[in-house]
Structure 1
Amino acid sequence: MAALALLLGVLLQLSPAVPAGRGQQPWLVERPQPRRLSKVDGFSWKNCDNGTDPVEVQSLSLAPDPICIPGDLKVNLAVSSKVDLTSPLKVVLTVEKKIADMWIKIPCLDQIGSCTYEDLCNILDNAIPPGTPCPEPLLSYGLPCHCPFKQGSYSLPSSEFYLPVIELPSWLTNGDYRIEGVMSNGAQQLSCVKMALSLHSD
């Protein structure tokens, strides 16, 4: 399920979904003259490892398209892992924005952008204290939310999340973005996923 956390983490950098009916979580830091995110569209994804990584996304779908904010988001995801996933799970995100005919790398500011997260396991432990139940919908489907993650296949059937009103930092504006997420443990690359999307803000 680390691949699930990686994928949702990429998306939630821009739009922090919470399970439907839950309260907001202030994941984004306020900036001067923030912009209100209203829509995400053109979402696409692919594995970028040529079939060599032990962790791969089998399927991923988001609905509706475009994603309206605020509003409900349905996520359907299946991943497989040929190895046990243990700490430290390093995640490197590269975020680029299209400007004219060029793709410009967005720097890491306040943990948003092209950031490196040294251990996903620690991040999960801080977000969900060990010993507490996993949040919905993981709990209902018996999916783990802490390391280690055993090898095998995991699937999240169509599950609904609520996207609250989101204020983006002023430097993150309308446009086309592409995101690459690479997960590794030591020298071993475990997973590579690329995503593309367009942001629309007011």
Structure 2
Amino acid sequence: MKSFSLALLLLVCLPRLAPARKDSWHLKKVSDFSWENCDDGQDPMLIKSLTVKPVPVNIPGNITVSMEGTTGVHLSSPIKGVVVMEKEVAPGIWFQLPCYKKIGSCIYKDVCETIDYFIPPGVPCPEPFHTYGLPCHCPFKKGTYSLPKTVFQIPPLKLPPSLSSGTYRAHIVLSNGTTLRNTRLGCFKIMITLKEASRPMPGKSDH
């Protein structure tokens, strides 16, 4: 699944090392999976609930995700998105993952166009969007959007353990791309720990 293809983030030039930035990255609660809205949830777009199980997330493996979000405004193109994604390489030391094929630390001039890149217009919304009647293209009407507990499969990634496991964090800002001031619509911080699933030892069998 494209949404879980961390390999795409790590196939280009070495990212830069950077110390932790306490101002923009600080999470009030930190665990193997943490999230929060920026600035105590003052933006029109908010995450109300978000759960991921199990944590750490095993790769490959199955994860169960549930989410509820709200928007107090009608969302239509263009919506600018700025994503900074980093991996912790030592306590308090992070490197920024590059932007590769629209995944990673990227600036999206229009998130709506990016959605169309992954789900071409005219193609039926994939699961679980179809089952739960969730839209998968702009515009998005004002209201509440809920995803009940849904199981996703993370495929094997051909990466060394140092890259397929560890702690990652993302800082995501969405804004109205039609205004000169880029009025902020939503801001989210997410931290998650990944763990490579155990592999059978070479030459070992069940007999």
The TM-score range, normalised by the shorter chain, is 0.7 to 0.9
Are 1:185 and 2:180 matched, yes or no? Answer: no
Structure 1 residue 30 displacement after superposition:
7.5
CA distance in 2, matches of 1:193, 1:169: 29
Structure 1 residue 160 displacement after superposition:
1.1
Give the partner amino acid of 2:122.
G
- Structure number having the greater strand percentage: 1
Return the TM-score normalized by structure 1. 0.74
2:54 is matched with which residue: 42, 53, 64? 64
CA distance in 2, matches of 1:68, 1:96: 19
**Percent same amino acid at aligned positions?**
43
> CA offsets per residue over residues 57-98 of structure 1, 9 Å max, x none?
000001112222222111100000000111111111112333
SS in 2 for 1:166: coil
> CA offsets per residue over residues 16-70 of structure 1, 9 Å max, x none?
4xxxxxxxxx9727849xxxxxxxx812111113221000000000111222222
Structure 1 residue 197 displacement after superposition:
1.9
1:132 is matched with which residue: 106, 123, 127? 123
Report matched runs for 1:36-75 at 5 Å: 42-75=32-65
- Structure number having the greater helix percentage: 2
Distance 1:109 1:137, change over 3 A: closer
Q: Provide the residue aligned with 1:196 in structure 2.
A: 191
SS in 2 for 1:132: coil
Are 1:78 and 2:68 matched, yes or no? Answer: yes
What's the C-alpha RMSD, in Å, of the aligned pairs? 2.8
Equivalent pair of 1:30/1:167 in contact (CA under 8 Å): no
> CA offsets per residue over residues 112-140 of structure 1, 9 Å max, x none?
43221211111112222222221111111
1 or 2 for the larger relative contact order (CA 8 Å, sep ≥6)?
1
SS in 2 for 1:177: strand
Equivalent pair of 2:115/2:136 in contact (CA under 8 Å): yes
Return the TM-score normalized by structure 2. 0.72
Are 1:158 and 2:149 matched, yes or no? Answer: yes
Aligned length: 173
Q: Provide the residue aligned with 2:25 in structure 1.
A: none
Structure 2's unaligned 5+ residue stretches are 13-30, 199-207
Higher Cα radius of gyration: 2
Give the partner amino acid of 1:56.
L
Structure 1's unaligned 5+ residue stretches are 1-8, 17-25, 33-40
> CA offsets per residue over residues 167-186 of structure 1, 9 Å max, x none?
34899464333211111113
CA distance in 1, matches of 2:190, 2:159: 19
